[in-house]
Structure 1
Amino acid sequence: MANLSRRSLLHATGAAGALGLFAGTPAQALDRALRETTKRTVSTAGTTLEAVATPTGTGFKRITAGPGWPLVVRPDLTAPQSGRDDRRTALTSFVQFTDLHIIDAQSPARVEYVHPFIGSAHRPHETLSTQGAAALVKRVNSVQSGPYTGRAFDFVLCTGDNTDNHEKIELEWFLTVLNGGTVTPNTGDPARFEGVQNSRATLYWNPGDSTADMYKAKGFPQIPGLLTDAIKPFSSPGLTRPWYSVFGNHDDSVQGSFPSGIPLIDGIYTGSTKIEGFASEADAAKLAQAMQNSPLKAVELLLNFSGPVRRVTPDARRKPFSPKEYVAAHRDPANTGPGPVGHGFGPANAAGKDLYYTFQVAPGVIGIGMDSTNRAGLAEGSLGDKQFKWIEQTLKGGSSRYYDSKGNLVRSSAPDQLFVLFSHHTSGSMGNLLPDPTNLLERRHDGPALVALLNRFPNVVAWVNGHTHRNEIIAHPGATPAQGFWEINTASHTDFPQQARIIELTDNGDGTLSLFTTLIEAESPYRTDFGDGSAAGLASLYREIAANDLHASAGRLGAAVDHNTELVLVKPF
C-alpha cells in the first residue's frame, strides 16, 4: 500500500516541499497527501490530520475549517524502512499540553501596559483562558487514542506555564479544569469585571463599549456582553486520563520575569490598586527592557512606576504561590482527579526545592520531568548542578551502555529502558545562568550542555518542551547514529495557533523506532456568533480573538516538518 514514506516524502522544508512531490495543482497535491496519510492511520478524527483552524478574510479574520495537514516523515537521524506500518508495535501514546497560561485577567499584579513592547504582557482574549483550556480537555477525552497506533492515551503532561502569574486562584482554576468541576473565572468584585478591558483606555480592546481603542482600529468588533459572560461559572469535564505537571517560569515568577518572594510586590497582588496605563511611554519601554534583561532593575522600576490607577476589589485568593505550595496543591487528595496522586510530585518534592521526578510512561519507557526555571527571574531557564547530575544518574540507571563525557563506551548491568524527557524550556531558551538565589553557589547548566548529556545515552528518544509558543521539531544527532534524539516543541494554548500534541512511540520491528507527532486543537466551533456566551462559544472566541491579536506571529505556526510528523531513529537495543 502506498504511503508518504514510500513516495519518498522523507524530508521536507515546509508545506511546499512536501506537496511538491505530487503532480497537479497544490490543492490536488494536498488532497493526495492527505489521502495517503489517512491510509497509515487508525483514525484522523479530531486531529489536524482532518482539519485545521484557519483565519480567513480581511480586517478581523474569522476562523474556518481549513484542510488538514498531511504526515511528513523525517529521516534526519536514520532512514525509515519500507513495510514498517505492518510491523510496528505501539510502546506508548500520550498528549502534551503546554503554556495554558490560565490567567486572572483582573489582577492588580499585571503589567498589561507594557504590551506595546512585550506582546505577551496583555492578550485581548485572556479573559477566556479557562474556557479555552476546558475545550482542549474535551478534545483529548473525545479523541482518546493515538491516530497511528490506536493505543489509548497513557497520560497527559503539561510542560509548564500552567498559570500566568503564579496566583493561587490561577492554580485552583488550572487544577479544576484538568480534574473536572465548576470554575468561576472571576476575582475581586463577584458581580462585575474590573480589568483593563473595561477601562476605556485606548491601549486595550474594550469589547463592551464604543471606545475608539487601538484594537478596534484594526477591525476588532464590539461585543457588549463578552466580559459579563467571561466571568460566569461553567463546568469542565476534567481529563479521563492520568496527567502530570512540570514547572514553568510563569508558574514561578511575577509575570514570568520578576523574581518571586519580594514582599512589596507580593502585596500588590492582594491590594486594591491597579495601574491601567503609563504616564510616560519611555518609562514603560524601560520597564519592558528590564523585564527581559535585569530582574532586580525591573523590580525597582515596577515599584516606582506611575500611571492611571483604578481601585479594584481586594482578593486574598490572588496571593502568589511558592514552589512548595505548587507541589502541595498537586499532592492534595482533593486534586487527584484521574491521578496519579501528586501528578508526578512525590514526597521528595514536598519541600519545593527539587521539582523534578521520574515516572513510568509504559512498560520499558521512563519519563523524566525536569524543572528548567531559574528562581533569579527572567523568562529563560537553566538547570542547577544537582538536577543535572541527577538526570545523568537516572539515565545511567536505565542504560546497559552509554558514553562517558570523553566519548568512551561504558557497559553496565542496568536494565535497558527508553527515556522521554519533559521540561518547560527548550534547548535554545536555557541561557539564564544567573545564580539561583535559593542556592547561590550552585553551578547552572544551559541548553547545549543538556543536549550534550542526552547525546551520550542512545536510549534517550525525545525531549518534549514548550515555552516558545511555537511548533518546532529539532533533530539532535550524536557521535553515532544510535546517539541521536528528537526535541519536540509545541505551540502554546494561549497564543494562536493554540495547539497541543499527541505523541506515539512505536517499535518498527526493523531496528528503528518512530515518534508520531500529531497536533490537535480545542473542541469548540471554528466559528460562532459574537454573542454566544456559552462555554463552547467563549472557547471558540478565545481562539478567534487570539488569531487576530495585534501581537500574533505567523512564525509560531512552524512549518510542515514541525506539525504532523513521523520522526525515525535508531532502536538502541
Structure 2
Amino acid sequence: MANMNRRSFLGLAGLGAAGAMGVGAFGRAPWGTWYAAADALPEHLAGTTLEAVATPVGTSGYRTLSAGPGWPVIVRGELAEAKSGREERRAALASFVQMTDMHVLDAQSPMRFEYLHPFTGSAFRPHETLTTHGLASLVSRINSLAGGPHTRRRFDAVVTTGDNTDNKEHAELGWLLATLNGGTFRPNTGALDRYEGVQNSGSDLYWNPESPIRDMYKKAGFPEIPGLLGAALAPVTSPGLRTPWYCVFGNHDDSVEGTVPSGIPPLEAMYTGSIKIEGPDSEQARAIGSAASSDPSALPALLAAVTTPPRIVTPDGNRAPFTPRQFIAAHLDPRNTGPGPVGHGFAPDAGETGIGYYTFEIAPGVIGISMDSTNRAGFVDGSLGEAQFRWIERTLESGSSRYFDTGGRAVTQSRADTWFLLFSHHTSDTMANLVPDPENPADRRHSGAELVALLHRFPNVLAWVNGHTHENKISARTGPTPVQGFWEINTASHIDFPQHARIIEVADNHDGTVSLLTTLIESDSPYQTSHGDFSQSGLASLYRELSFNDIHADPKLMGVSGDHNTELLLPSPRA
C-alpha cells in the first residue's frame, strides 16, 4: 500500500457517509450510467450499513469514530433495466455473507517484515495484535442478523474469500478456526507472560503504545495506552458462526507474507526460531523488500547480512508454516466442523490431493464455484491452472440451460437450469501471475481476462465474488449479448479500514430480471471506546479506530456509493 497524504485521507473519509446520503433520486455515477436510489428502504435495517456507518469525529489529527448516517441503496442498471413493482414480485433464491481478507495475524512471529512498512504499508499495522478480537466481533454481527435485509431470507452460507491468515502459520490457522467455529483461545505465541513483538521495541518505526517514546505514530497523534499489549494477549472467546461456512484460499494462506514462495529452508526455519529482525538500516530494508517481491531466492543472504542486532525471542513450534494440504486437512478435521459442512467445502480427499477448488450448493438451484487463484510459485497476484480452468468450464456446461461460444452463438442444450456464483481471492485484474506452478510446471496458467471470457459464454453466471485488493468495488462485466453479462463484486478487507463484510441476496424478480442485493456490514463492536477499556468488545472497537487512523490508510478502499449497498440487475435467460 503506497504512502499518502494523511490530511487528504482524513478529509475524504469524513465525506463518506454524508456524501452518500446527499445523493438525490438520480445522480451521475462514475461508471458513466445513471443510477437511482431505491424508492423505499426495507424495514429491517438494524446491524447493517443501511442503518449506520462508522464515521470519523472531527476534521484532523487522530480521530475517534461515531455512528454516522446509513448509506442508501443504489440501483445499478448497466446490465438490465430495473422494472417497477419488482419488490412485490420478487422471490428470494439465496442469501449469504462474504467475509474476506481477515488476516488473522501472529504479531510476534520472527518471520515477518514489519520494517518494510515505509515502503509497503501493509507490512505493519498499529492494530495487528487485535485481529482475532475484530473477527470475533464480526462473527457476532453476522449471528445477530436474522437474514438478508431485503428478502428476509435466512443466510444459506458464509464464504471466506481468502487471506484468512496473514502468514500461513499453524498458530494463525488455529485461531481462525476457533473464531469461526466457536471457542476460547489465547492469541499469543512465544513467551506466555509477555509480548515480544515490534510494538515494545522502542523503535521510532512502530507504534509503541505502552511507551512515551515519540515514534512516528505518536507524532501523527496516536495515543499512549499502557497495558494494551498484555490485554491483547489475554484469552478471546468467539461464539462461532451459526451458519455453514466455506473457505477459499488466498495468497497469504499459501505464501510467506503473501508473496514469498514456500520451500526456502532458511526462511522456514526463521518461523520457529529465536531471531527476530526489527530494524535494519533503510538501504538493507529496501533491498529486502525488493527481493521479496521480485527475487525471493535472494532473501536468505540479505537477511543474514543485516548488521543491526536482532531481537532474541522465545521460539515456538506452533509458529511453523503450514502447507496447502495441511491447511485443507485442518478444515477436514472433525474437531473443526463447527456449524459445518465437514471440510468447509474441501473434498474429503483434498488433504492428500491438495486440490483447493470445489463446488457447493448455496441454496436449491444456486451453485457456488470456489476457485483457488493462488500460484504455488508465490508472488502477490494469482492465476488459474489449466486443470482448474477446464474443470470450471465443465462445471458451467453441466449446469447451464444454454451456453455460448466466444462468438456469442448458442451451441448446445444441457440438462440442468442452475444459477452460478463464483468465488475467488483474486480479482479479474490481479490474475496475471502466469509463472509456472512448481508442483505442476506443465500446467498452463490462465489469467483473469481469460476467465472473464469463459464466464461470458454462460447466461446463468450471476456474479464473481472476490477480495484481495481490500477495496469495495463492483463492476459490470458486459458480455457479447445482454444475457451473457455478470457482476464482479469485490469487498473490502476486515483488517484495513473500512473493515467490511458483505451480504448478497439473490432474487428472481419474475419480470425477466434477476437482482443481486448487496449490503455491507461492520462488526458489532461500539463505534466509540475508552482507550482504557480492555474488554474484548472494547479492544474490537479499538481495532477499528486504529485501522482508520493508520498512517498508511488508503481512502480508495472505501469505494463510492455504487460499490456499497446496491441492487445489481441482470437479464434472466429464463425469460
| TMscore range, shorter length | over 0.9
Deviations 1:306-355 (A, max 9, x none): 43411100000000000000010000000000000000001242225321
Q: For residues 318 and 537 of structure 1, do their structure 2 counterparts lie closer, same or farther at Cα, with a shift above 3 Å needed?
A: same
Task: Give 1:171's aligned residue.
Answer: 173
Task: Give 2:384's aligned residue.
Answer: 383
Task: Give 1:531's aligned residue.
Answer: 532
Deviates more, 1:297-306 or 1:187-196: 297-306
Task: Give 1:236's aligned residue.
Answer: 238
Is the aligned partner of 1:415 residue 2:416?
A: yes
> What's the secondary structure of 2:422's corresponding residue?
strand
Match of 1:216 among 215, 218, 223: 218
Task: Give 1:492's aligned residue.
Answer: 493
Is the aligned partner of 1:460 residue 2:476?
A: no
Given that residues 419 and 461 in structure 1 are in contact (C-alpha distance below 8 angstroms), is that contact kept between their aligned partners in structure 2?
yes
Q: For residues 59 and 15 of structure 1, do their structure 2 counterparts lie closer, same or farther at Cα, with a shift above 3 Å needed?
A: closer
Aligned counterparts of 1:234 and 1:352: Cα–Cα separation in 2: 34
Task: Give 1:153's aligned residue.
Answer: 155
> What's the secondary structure of 1:90's corresponding residue?
strand
Q: For residues 285 and 21 of structure 1, do their structure 2 counterparts lie closer, same or farther at Cα, with a shift above 3 Å needed?
A: same
Deviates more, 1:129-138 or 1:427-436: 427-436
Task: Give 1:21's aligned residue.
Answer: 24
Given that residues 366 and 418 in structure 1 are in contact (C-alpha distance below 8 angstroms), is that contact kept between their aligned partners in structure 2?
yes
Deviations 1:187-226 (A, max 9, x none): 0001000000001111000000111100000000000010
Deviation at 1:440, TM superposition (A): 1.2
Deviation at 1:400, TM superposition (A): 2.1
Task: Give 2:13's aligned residue.
Answer: none
**Paired residues for 1:333-372 under 5 Å:** 333-372=334-373
Runs of at least 5 residues in structure 2 that lack an aligned partner in the other structure? 1-15, 27-35
> What's the secondary structure of 1:386's corresponding residue?
helix
Task: Give 1:27's aligned residue.
Answer: none
Task: Give 1:26's aligned residue.
Answer: none
The count of corresponding residues between Structure 1 and Structure 2 is: 549
Deviation at 1:42, TM superposition (A): 3.9
**Paired residues for 1:187-336 under 5 Å:** 187-278=189-280, 280-298=281-299, 300-336=301-337
Given that residues 497 and 553 in structure 2 are in contact (C-alpha distance below 8 angstroms), is that contact kept between their aligned partners in structure 1?
yes
Given that residues 17 and 53 in structure 2 are in contact (C-alpha distance below 8 angstroms), is that contact kept between their aligned partners in structure 1?
no
Deviations 1:158-186 (A, max 9, x none): 00000000000100000000000002011
Q: For residues 303 and 473 of structure 1, do their structure 2 counterparts lie closer, same or farther at Cα, with a shift above 3 Å needed?
A: farther
Aligned counterparts of 1:371 and 1:535: Cα–Cα separation in 2: 33
Deviates more, 1:186-195 or 1:408-417: 408-417
> What's the secondary structure of 1:351's corresponding residue?
helix
- Structure 1: which amino acid aligns with 2:529? T
Given that residues 258 and 298 in structure 1 are in contact (C-alpha distance below 8 angstroms), is that contact kept between their aligned partners in structure 2?
no
> What's the secondary structure of 1:350's corresponding residue?
helix
> What's the secondary structure of 2:352's corresponding residue?
coil
Aligned counterparts of 2:404 and 2:222: Cα–Cα separation in 1: 56
Given that residues 492 and 500 in structure 1 are in contact (C-alpha distance below 8 angstroms), is that contact kept between their aligned partners in structure 2?
yes
Q: For residues 41 and 299 of structure 1, do their structure 2 counterparts lie closer, same or farther at Cα, with a shift above 3 Å needed?
A: farther
- Structure 1: which amino acid aligns with 2:24? L
- Structure 2: which amino acid aligns with 1:141? N
Please tell me the root mean square deviation across aligned C-alpha atoms, in Å.
1.7
Q: TM-score, normalised by structure 2?
A: 0.93
Deviations 1:419-454 (A, max 9, x none): 000000000111111111111121111111110000
Is the aligned partner of 1:119 residue 2:121?
A: yes
Deviations 1:271-319 (A, max 9, x none): 00100111x2122112222323333344553454443411100000000
Aligned counterparts of 2:368 and 2:79: Cα–Cα separation in 1: 22
Q: For residues 202 and 460 of structure 1, do their structure 2 counterparts lie closer, same or farther at Cα, with a shift above 3 Å needed?
A: same
Deviation at 1:56, TM superposition (A): 2.2
Task: Give 2:138's aligned residue.
Answer: 136
Q: TM-score, normalised by structure 1?
A: 0.93
Given that residues 367 and 419 in structure 1 are in contact (C-alpha distance below 8 angstroms), is that contact kept between their aligned partners in structure 2?
yes
Deviations 1:68-100 (A, max 9, x none): 100000001011111000000000000000000
Given that residues 492 and 500 in structure 2 are in contact (C-alpha distance below 8 angstroms), is that contact kept between their aligned partners in structure 1?
yes
Between the two proteins, what is the percent identity of the paired residues?
59
Q: For residues 306 and 431 of structure 1, do their structure 2 counterparts lie closer, same or farther at Cα, with a shift above 3 Å needed?
A: farther
Aligned counterparts of 1:294 and 1:571: Cα–Cα separation in 2: 48
Q: For residues 525 and 295 of structure 1, do their structure 2 counterparts lie closer, same or farther at Cα, with a shift above 3 Å needed?
A: same
Aligned counterparts of 1:16 and 1:48: Cα–Cα separation in 2: 14
Aligned counterparts of 1:72 and 1:86: Cα–Cα separation in 2: 18
Task: Give 1:69's aligned residue.
Answer: 71
> What's the secondary structure of 2:207's corresponding residue?
coil
Aligned counterparts of 2:21 and 2:449: Cα–Cα separation in 1: 30
Given that residues 401 and 415 in structure 2 are in contact (C-alpha distance below 8 angstroms), is that contact kept between their aligned partners in structure 1?
yes
Task: Give 1:162's aligned residue.
Answer: 164
Task: Give 1:29's aligned residue.
Answer: none
- Structure 2: which amino acid aligns with 1:481? P
Aligned counterparts of 1:207 and 1:494: Cα–Cα separation in 2: 19
Deviations 1:224-275 (A, max 9, x none): 0100100000210000010000100000010001101222111100000100
Deviation at 1:406, TM superposition (A): 4.2
- Structure 1: which amino acid aligns with 2:46? A
- Structure 1: which amino acid aligns with 2:206? Y
Given that residues 266 and 300 in structure 2 are in contact (C-alpha distance below 8 angstroms), is that contact kept between their aligned partners in structure 1?
no
Deviation at 1:514, TM superposition (A): 0.3
- Structure 1: which amino acid aligns with 2:415? A
Aligned counterparts of 1:307 and 1:175: Cα–Cα separation in 2: 37
Given that residues 15 and 559 in structure 1 are in contact (C-alpha distance below 8 angstroms), is that contact kept between their aligned partners in structure 2?
no
Q: For residues 325 and 277 of structure 1, do their structure 2 counterparts lie closer, same or farther at Cα, with a shift above 3 Å needed?
A: same
Q: For residues 256 and 302 of structure 1, do their structure 2 counterparts lie closer, same or farther at Cα, with a shift above 3 Å needed?
A: farther
Q: For residues 313 and 14 of structure 1, do their structure 2 counterparts lie closer, same or farther at Cα, with a shift above 3 Å needed?
A: closer
Deviates more, 1:56-65 or 1:375-384: 56-65
Runs of at least 5 residues in structure 1 that lack an aligned partner in the other structure? 1-12, 24-32
Match of 1:95 among 91, 94, 97: 97
Task: Give 2:3's aligned residue.
Answer: none
Given that residues 18 and 69 in structure 2 are in contact (C-alpha distance below 8 angstroms), is that contact kept between their aligned partners in structure 1?
no
